[in-house]
Structure 1
């Protein structure tokens, strides 16, 4: 079922719109903050959102069936001064000329922002956090060749939530307001903490009315447009229906499929207006929308074509959220600056039945039809997943764009149940946040992409007694000079000591950021939709969620694994040279030793080929990182959780790492996630899966990432597609957590590099998300081109 003419036109218009900077939100939040100085942070934040929703510019595009926009005009990104005042002022003159993710900025916008932003300079998370770090950790944070990249939540809101959208769509904010009013009335102000609780409930009442007003403004705009003399009768009827829907949702519960989608869009949009975080995710959309689809079909005769057009409109709307990101670090660490609004389809229901339904089908088809980078569609698979479901997902994968990613119930459900953290029913209902992070739906604040830790840099420091070789600075602890590391076991021990030190430094940084978010940036609208917050009378930023933790990623696992295998074989067993001699060769970036380097690459076993010893090193290194991370608690009452995925940070993190024993040259990209090093996996996709399965995926509780690249000819026939079904079932039975497929030829990627304007619509899988290939920097493009192309 192809795109309707309506959605084709809307998509064509969307693709023509240039990205620009909008100062309106900055103006409105500054007005509100100046009026509320001295009030409780909960109230200030609620009133700020209320002021924005009551006064921001609204518009309805011609032909839209679902309405609501983030900024004052299409393609515009709002400025969030509470997180970005410091860096926006620094980059205001370069947004239009920088290499990546350009934004048009008018002189009027520059002048207004220069007038408004100084008010915020000492109120941001960045400024306040830097005042509180101890000198040692502050040095580690600011050092040019740092091991840790913890800046996502320092320069923006946290994001990475799956709110309980289903509850709001079903009951509306009227029920939230009713519950908050009752809890406020029952509050005993003689009890400690009750003052904060009272302010929290007041903030919920404010935002509940604010979203009602926001939707009603769209209803009024729809009526205004309907009454214009040039409006056709057909469009007039559509606008009148839009007005009726906006008067109802999301304050009242939805009754029809269109009302449910409009309610979902309004609340998801408002989340993005309240905070500028990445990865606000939809969760299990097919599970909470199916009742509205089936009811609409039964009672109103909704046709599949009508439902598909609505879903296609929704998928297109997801691409209208625009984030103004700083460079560096976000536009390089998160190449393409994708919003990663994840939507998980299929998998088991809470009671163990197959969750694949008609809404799953509509959204998979919608993703393939619209063929843009949002939503970040995923599927969940288990033993009961049907070939019909998998083949439909593969049809989407085959179209290019790297979606949907595949997640495995057999690995993720036991991981979420570790240490009694969740019941079986809760774990079965998991969703995916952002790139690859599995979370318990509706009640989790997991900070799931809080920081990256450069594992390869830790190995480099271990080989240099903690001295950073580019600068000569003692960056890590002294763990032994090369001459002192006389056994392979001593090298691993030195590496583990570096990991231990830098994990602790990372925790200190992130606990500081976490504390500051709670103090400065409550998010009452989000809190209204996160289970646990109303019951506790506490904002989610201060620990109100049912489940709290911080997720941190190790990057460079395969590079470390392959390097340790080389040291074990070549230095300590074959004794072809000493460790000190190896380090000197590395420090010279193999200059004059190219033949030796090629031998290290080609003649020593590499991770990804189902070779037992090197795969066991990977297992041990992964477990060491996971165990170290899992020791620590976060300020909101939970623990730290380890992940092994890079987003796109493996490219910039590689620039600060010198040559490695594996034969990798200085400054080149690290491997992505738990994928083998590009070009080193030579025994086919099943061998890759077997190697990766040696890692205990249940321990990697914040998620893993495995990339595979296929040539388009690998999926030409139905028989070819069934081979991929078989590979996915092998992946499932091996209990891997995640896999994703790029279906694109090397030739097409090279052509896009040479002629980007003719390939504006080429979507590729970067890491746990997809992006326009031509929006990526050259190093990231080269990394994708050089990935091993597998045959089925």
Structure 2
């Protein structure tokens, strides 16, 4: 902790004063608030830094994502705890006491998330962020997450070039406080660079080793140069990107190999740095990633078509992967975009790094995703080539779109509620639609329609919530840090959420699709096709968690399952996926979004939300984990890796903006037969496979880690949309990971 609570409380008082004094102009207000904030949240470097930029947020502030989640935020609980402690300790004056009470009352109502909640509740009578896990099929919250900015433009133009672009636009569109605020934001960034430059000079003087003295001297020079010049070295490029990102709470870093590759290659070719020095520079950046520790975000993208500097980028991609191999942490979420004629050296390096159990890089297929993104987003081929996954795997287009995923929907829960005519059986709460007595579902289609009927109202309402999330953000703030590097905002003279961003997109996270699909397949097989049970009889067995009915559970487990290249099961999975996707897209259009699409990802909710679900007809016991993302139900993929990948490749990829396919290999197979594994994966990527999260580890290691966690502190596992140290996970999540299929020789 760099600041005391009393310092943070006083910062809250001053931030509030600045906010109120500029209340008449949201553009200048944000510029003033951000200038104050940067002077107080950016904290000093330490002696181990090689890149400048660290933060510690205050109780009140502005953030798109990290510090307070959403726009003008208020961490009220932390504020009140600090206030009570400081008051009790006599650390605040009587005048400050009165003023802090006023600040608490003011921000309780003025924080932007509160405004979204009120607007939504006026329409629907409840606040969705508080709707789950109490009951129902999902929840949602407020944030602006995952936007990938045009860092190539930042590197190419620098701060002065951006100033000039603003001036040219103002000549065309007329002067405005929006343009003035953008220039003030740039000046605030220059100020942050200068303050860190001064710190670097002091650290250089105090350095006890020649290495440290040289490191901080070079860093001070870089921080001076980037204030007005475009970066001329790899260090300057990394520093410029990072000072922008850390000042903005940007948590995804776009196509890093492309926008930094030319600087790296020029430095190497001129003999200014060695490859080892470049790796160390990347590791200094990774150090900051770890300090922030946003494991659900922190994407660094390498590879792929559509890069401006392919050869230079590939050279840097090798360095970045080597840094991840050595770093061996849960961040960054290094992601490689595969394409058929890519440099084989780059792909082999990715395989070798994964073989060491790093869980990175995640591999995405441009052969599949570029044409799919082109269609699903309705964009040009050139724009589609700039797709990137962020967060847990959702897609945005670099510099041209937003795509915040603010909600989760539990598809398996919708089936449970449909089987009980609107009742959440597991929690005994009536919260769904009255879709009819299941005894009257005399055809499978009636049951299937009832499940969709349970989902549709929530999907529709959450689309509205997404729209309000953006609308109210735009009414309260121009999001200067986004507007400056989203390519249409300056030209249009409009802030991000006032019509500046080209594509106003959003995504909806779906959980339990495969568990629901396998359950529907089992019901169709046992009840409607083979007539071994009536639906009420099966529901009663499920309500009692298969107690005394092991024979029926065996029938459920033996029914066709997704993940085995079985068309009976796969057809229902792909049908359910498509129908949910269509409902979501229609809801987005009705709500006013350009595109609203599903993602089938996992941020541990497949395990955690399974804990709130009754037993299901796929054979899953009550409270047990659901299938992870687009992976098979636990233990259900029994026909080998090729069959699993074939099932995963059957979805319509123009219906989603991200799916997660977790695949786990033993070290013996992955290392010993790397050529064969590589061939299988490439065949998947070339034939409609979207991506793979590769985890190279044995099941025995996972079992042992639960018993002796002290011996497995560095054991990394892939959850779905993120990685984690296995020993830090909730036991529910640990057990779900252990039970996944491991493919061996």
State the TM-score, normalizing by the size of structure 1: 0.85
Residue 487 of structure 1 deviates from its aligned partner by: 0.8
CA contact (8 A) 1:346 1:354 kept: no
1:609 counterpart residue number? 564
State the secondary structure of the residue aligned to 2:624. Answer: coil
CA contact (8 A) 2:146 2:297 kept: no
Alignment of 1:402-421 (within 5 A): 402-418=359-375, 421=378
Query: How far apart, in 1, do the equivalents of 2:292 and 2:19 lie?
Result: 28
Residue 490 of structure 1 deviates from its aligned partner by: 1.3
State the secondary structure of the residue aligned to 1:616. Answer: helix
Cα deviation per residue 1:499-538 (whole Å; 9 max; x = unaligned)? Answer: 2222112223322333222223442122211111112222
Residue 356 of structure 1 deviates from its aligned partner by: 5.9
Residue 732 of structure 1 deviates from its aligned partner by: 0.9
1:34 aligns with 2:17: yes
Cα deviation per residue 1:210-246 (whole Å; 9 max; x = unaligned)? Answer: 0000001111111122233x64444333322211110
CA contact (8 A) 2:260 2:313 kept: no
Aligned residue among 218, 240, 256 for 1:285: 256
1:123 aligns with 2:110: yes
1:212 aligns with 2:183: no
Alignment of 1:430-509 (within 5 A): 430-447=387-404, 449-509=405-465
Larger deviation, residues 553-562 vs 759-768: 759-768
The structure-2 alpha-carbon separation of the partners of 1:300 and 1:388, relative to structure 1 and needing over 3 Å to count, comes to closer
Residue 378 of structure 1 deviates from its aligned partner by: 0.7
Q: CA RMSD in A?
A: 2.9
1:150 counterpart residue number? 140
State the secondary structure of the residue aligned to 1:36. Answer: helix
1:583 counterpart residue number? 539
2:162 counterpart residue number? 176
The structure-2 alpha-carbon separation of the partners of 1:56 and 1:653, relative to structure 1 and needing over 3 Å to count, comes to closer
1:331 counterpart residue number? none
1:329 counterpart residue number? none
State the TM-score, normalizing by the size of structure 2: 0.90
1:83 aligns with 2:54: no
The structure-2 alpha-carbon separation of the partners of 1:777 and 1:463, relative to structure 1 and needing over 3 Å to count, comes to same
Query: How far apart, in 2, do the equivalents of 1:555 and 1:91 lie?
Result: 35
2:652 counterpart residue number? 696
**Long gaps (5+) in structure 1:** 1-17, 94-105, 190-197, 273-278, 323-336
The structure-2 alpha-carbon separation of the partners of 1:656 and 1:72, relative to structure 1 and needing over 3 Å to count, comes to closer
The structure-2 alpha-carbon separation of the partners of 1:724 and 1:466, relative to structure 1 and needing over 3 Å to count, comes to same
Cα deviation per residue 1:420-472 (whole Å; 9 max; x = unaligned)? Answer: 7222222223222122123221222111x221111111111221222222455
Cα deviation per residue 1:124-159 (whole Å; 9 max; x = unaligned)? Answer: 2332222222364516653411212212xx2xx422
Residue 412 of structure 1 deviates from its aligned partner by: 0.8
The structure-2 alpha-carbon separation of the partners of 1:397 and 1:84, relative to structure 1 and needing over 3 Å to count, comes to farther
CA contact (8 A) 2:6 2:82 kept: no
Larger deviation, residues 415-424 vs 655-664: 415-424
Residue 573 of structure 1 deviates from its aligned partner by: 1.5
**Long gaps (5+) in structure 2:** 59-65, 84-88
State the secondary structure of the residue aligned to 2:714. Answer: coil
Query: How far apart, in 2, do the equivalents of 1:496 and 1:526 lie?
Result: 37
Alignment of 1:43-58 (within 5 A): 43-56=28-41, 58=43
CA contact (8 A) 1:380 1:407 kept: yes
Query: How far apart, in 1, do the equivalents of 2:513 and 2:601 lie?
Result: 9
Cα deviation per residue 1:741-761 (whole Å; 9 max; x = unaligned)? Answer: 111222322333334344332
State the secondary structure of the residue aligned to 1:642. Answer: strand
1:513 aligns with 2:469: yes
1:565 counterpart residue number? 521
CA contact (8 A) 2:357 2:696 kept: yes
The structure-2 alpha-carbon separation of the partners of 1:92 and 1:456, relative to structure 1 and needing over 3 Å to count, comes to farther
Paired positions, count: 721
Query: How far apart, in 1, do the equivalents of 2:626 and 2:454 lie?
Result: 18
Residue 695 of structure 1 deviates from its aligned partner by: 1.2
Alignment of 1:516-531 (within 5 A): 516-531=472-487
Alignment of 1:717-728 (within 5 A): 717=672, 720-728=673-681
Residue 665 of structure 1 deviates from its aligned partner by: 1.4
Query: How far apart, in 1, do the equivalents of 2:363 and 2:2 lie?
Result: 31
Query: How far apart, in 2, do the equivalents of 1:108 and 1:70 lie?
Result: 24
Alignment of 1:161-310 (within 5 A): 161-188=147-174, 198-228=176-206, 231-249=208-226, 251-272=228-249, 280-310=251-281
The structure-2 alpha-carbon separation of the partners of 1:315 and 1:494, relative to structure 1 and needing over 3 Å to count, comes to same
1:790 counterpart residue number? 743
1:681 aligns with 2:616: no
Query: How far apart, in 2, do the equivalents of 1:464 and 1:351 lie?
Result: 56
Alignment of 1:321-470 (within 5 A): 321-322=292-293, 338-350=295-307, 357-418=314-375, 421-447=378-404, 449-470=405-426
